[in-house]
A and B are shown apart, each in its own frame.
Chain A
Amino acid sequence: MTQQKRKFGFETRMLHAGHIPDPVTGARAVPIYQTTSYVFEDTDKAAQLFELKQYGNIYTRINNPTNAVFEERIASLENATGAVATASGMAAQFAVMMTLLQAGDAIVSSSHLYGGTKTQFTHTLKKLGVTAHFVDPTDLSAWERAITPNTRALYGETIGNPQGSILDIEPLAALAHAHHIPLIVDSTFATPYLCRPIDFGADIVTHSATKFIGGHGSSIAGVVLDSGKFDFSTFPTIADPDPAYHDLRFYETFGHYGFLMKTRAVTVRDTGAALSPFNAFLLIQGLETLSVRMERHVSNALTVAAFLKAHPCVEWVAYASLPDSPYHALAQKYTPRGSGAVFTFGIRGSNKRRAGKTFIEALHLFSHLANVGDARSLVIHPASTTHQQLSDAELREAGIDAGMIRLSIGLETVEDLLWDLDQALQATLA
């Protein structure tokens, strides 16, 4: 009986949650169910499935047995009640917004966001009649002032991209709940190993699983998770009869599963950004080594950040785990094992934009590309790539230093990473 109550550890759940070996074949690895559809037992069972009166497989745009292993496993690791996998991280956050919001609604979001998210909120949501208000995430009163009767959710990133700020989740969750709205946290940079936002009161968590969860730069994917604790009983889009599903009331019918059931059976069904089962398999492979990889990612990142901090060619380093970071105290609370492996630093120089370009072109091991969270180390210089059309003055306005470099620290021999960075920094002096 005592055995029944055991709470299994994070690493055990990385390997076992969501997958019980198949009773017929005994296959130990997770099989890839590369199928679009599933034969119904009979017409009555088929009707039950379509009416959501049975849990089961209908069509891979809605669910898939390989995807289900990934979903249940990441839900277990995030202490969530369940999950819905999507084709990308952008699809995941869009699915959350499309499930919660309708025309006329507003959200309040941290301004420390991935640029793609900011564009999606500012322009794509606007086309659908939803307004996004951006606030300085470090100023709780700014969040409070931005909330209006139309506000339906608060949104932020555990570790802000690219500022490296740490979201103060606990008071933000309390603020959201005082207004009867959910707090949504994107935790891509943290992964559930470094921070579990639900443990601090977040209601909905999203990830770009493309990054550290997959971990090898091979697959685009996203996931939506729900704590199951938010009271959606008076939240219009989850509580009211849904005309897209013969007037089903998702909260009343599915209780703590209501938001996720609606996300799956309405939003993802209708918008179609389903995860490929093959990609789900690769993400599961990634999850099985998540803790081991993240430990090395953050220890390498801290070593690199401290090295850069002391380097004469470097003006500043924004990594929350460094003791003099303005976010150090928050990092100690929310990401005590390390504040991720993605951070920025600034190169010194009279012409920073040129110095940045020279640095990138002198690197041997860091891959110059637009991604983070690969097992390999990655680098990008916003002023010469994503933001190259902006003048130095416009860059400053956007909060970007012309010499700012973003690194995603991989699992290579750390001395080799330091060697590569040092020789490329020396090249900027020439």
Chain B
Amino acid sequence: MGLGSGIAGDIGMNTALTDDQRALYMDSRVIRTILATSKTVAIVGLSPKPERPSYFVGSYLQSEGYRVIPVNPRADEILGEKSYPDLLSIPFRVDLVDVFRQPEECVEVAKQAVQINAAALWLQLRVINFEAADIARAAGLHVVMDRCVKIEHGRYGGSLHWVGMNTEIISARRGGRYF
């Protein structure tokens, strides 16, 4: 249904970022654009273990219709997809790079995301590295930080509401997906 008139309201709970940083890295319009336009998502640090958070996110995105590309040098295949040791080894275009690694590893990931011409770099909850963000932004990538791609997909898709969470979305218009 497109991006519509936008989401009015401050969506800013559960973050370690300041208001200024949130304006840069948690812009709801940017998040919704990424969710709406990405088709292929490389997950750096995707675990093959089904109980791990990265696996939850990967299997969720897969069931929501995204193609998930595992980036994990210690696995051959995860979620039925071939795993690559790094972003540079992926032989086709990636739209979104989603990162489940320690903050200090993110600069290298950001450089590779720029090199493979990804459209967006997304650092998961509490994965915060401003140098990595600057590298990606300077090259024109969308950047999201200290957010979870599954939570945001659930927030703007409507399902997060069903488990009683505070989505912070307020609207008197007819609902639907917000991306």
Contacts and interface: CB of A to CB of B under 8 A. Distances in A.
Given A6-B10, A45-B63, A71-B164, A17 B175 contact: no
Nearest to B125: A255
A372 interface: no
Contacts of B63: 44-45, 48, 53-54
B9 A55 contact: no
Contact of B174 (A17, A26, A255, A257): A26
Given A20-B171, A44-B63, A4 B28 contact: yes
Interface string B59-80: 1100100000000000000000
A45 B62 CA distance: 11
B165 A57 contact: no
Interface size class of B (residues with CB under 8 A): 35 or more
Interface in A12-67: 12-13, 16-18, 20-23, 26, 44-45, 48, 51-57, 63, 65, 67
A247 interface: yes
A411 B168 CA distance: 32
A6 B8 contact: yes
Given A3-B8, A4-B29, A228-B14, A21 B173 contact: yes
B148 interface: yes
The interface residues of chain B, by DSSP majority, are classed as loop
Interface stretch (A72-80, A309-317, A394-402): A72-80
Contacts of B162: 55-57, 63, 65, 68
A25 to B, nearest CB: 9
A56 B151 CA distance: 13
A82 interface: yes
Nearest to B1: A23
A119 interface: no
A150 to B, nearest CB: 28
Interface of A: 1, 3-8, 12-13, 16-18, 20-23, 26, 44-45, 48, 51-57, 63, 65, 67-68, 71-72, 75-76, 80-85, 228-229, 241, 246-249, 252-253, 255-257, 260-261, 264
Interface of B: 6-10, 13-14, 23, 27-29, 50-53, 56, 59-60, 63, 125-126, 148, 151, 154, 158-176
